[in-house]
Amino acid sequence: MKVKIKQWNAVAQWRWDTGNKDAADDEEGDVCGICRVPFEGCCPSCRVPGDDCPLIWGECSHVFHMHCLLKWIGTAASKQQCPMDRRPWATAERRVDNAPPPTT
Amino acid sequence: MDARLRRVTREIADCKNDKTSSIKIETIDESPFHLKGSFPGPEGTPYQGGNFEIDIVIPESYPFQPVKMKFITKVYHPNVSSASGAICLDILKDAWSPVLTLKSTLISLQSLLCSPEPNDPQDAEVAKHYMTSKASFEETATYWTHIYAGGPGSKDAKQLNSGDDVAIAGLEHTHVDRFVELGFPKAKVVDALRRLNYRGNNIRNIPDDRVIEELLK
């Protein structure tokens, strides 16, 4: 039997690589702790998820929507601490597991 | 839908769906920002068997500002005002974090009932009572749980009539009666002895003259 493909539709799905492989098993793991919206959604001030509403990683390994975290860090009450562990917030380099080695 | 409304709606729904938790959150009127929480008193404490209701107000900039909570149910505890229900707890003030939720904050209040901090009191008179005689404090807290939070009374409390003002103040009948016999009105004696912390070993430090001076004020 021969099949002739006349037309096809591509379907793609994306997720942020939060570095937390168990996120799917962990109910709380895949939402931003500040706004409680999934990482794949956007922070409450944005309309479109994706590169315009990225995530931010702390050196303490906690992840938030960047806009949510910056809003919190901007308040005096935050004392510039991570909302999860109250350590001084330090933004980490984004960790990408399968990143190709840098070419220079 | 604004961020605050979205988060609060989600939190209320999550709490409703969690059948294993003893924490309840419900709306009072049409406003989603004025709520009522409740939880059972922790086992093995004077609050055991009682149900404690909390008034919850969600501020404009929640979750970047702490939620406002106070006890609706009267509770006898060093970190809770026995008059207003105001609570002294760090996470409701400067230790707030936006990752805390209504449910986790209510759980913190429940655990505050297990571990009073008399050195950082909200109600100084209750804290003094706690530090002078823990046994007498616990008897009073149990009595309050019995009459205000619907809890079972201790053996002593059951023998008393509901709403005994001497027991509510955490005092002994024999002490109150001694000054009432001198001709002072009972309510005034109860007030004075409570202010002076007339309990346990502290009684030795308070001569009768001092009590009478307080009564004549």
| Partner residues linked to B77 by β-bridges | B80
The residue annotated as part of the active site, out of B88, B168, B193, B211, is B88
Residue A69 domain flag? yes
Average pLDDT for chain B: 90
Q: Cβ(B157)–Cβ(B143) under 8 Å?
A: yes
Chain B partners of A53 at a C-beta cutoff of 8 Å? none
**B88 tagged catalytic:** yes
* CA–CA distance, B183 with B188 (Å, rounded to integer): 11
Residue A15 domain flag? no
Domains within chain B, CATH numbers bracketed: 3-114 (3.10.110.10), 124-216 (no CATH)
Tell which phi-psi region holds residue B85, choosing left (phi > 0), alpha (psi between -120 and 50) or beta: left
Residue A37 domain flag? yes
Q: How many domains does chain A have?
A: 1
Positive or negative, the Cα torsion across B175, B177, B181, B182? Answer: positive
Residue A98 domain flag? no
Confidence category of residue B27, pLDDT binned at 50, 70, 90: very high
Dihedrals φ, ψ of A70, to 5°? -65, -35
Q: At residue B36, does pLDDT exceed 60? A: yes
Chain B partners of A27 at a C-beta cutoff of 8 Å? none
Dihedrals φ, ψ of A31, to 5°? -115, 150
AA identity, residue B173: H
CATH number at residue A43: 3.30.40.10
**Mean pLDDT over residues A47-71, rounded?**
90
Entry pTM: 0.83
Residue A48 domain flag? yes
Strand positions, DSSP E, chain A:
55-57, 63-65
Residue A22 domain flag? no
Answer yes or no: do A71 and B6 touch at CB < 8 A: no
Residue A2 domain flag? no
Find the domain containing A38 and state its range.
Answer: 29-93
For the stretch B133-161, pLDDT in tens is 999 999 999 999 999 998 665 444 445 45
Q: At residue A14, does pLDDT exceed 50? A: yes
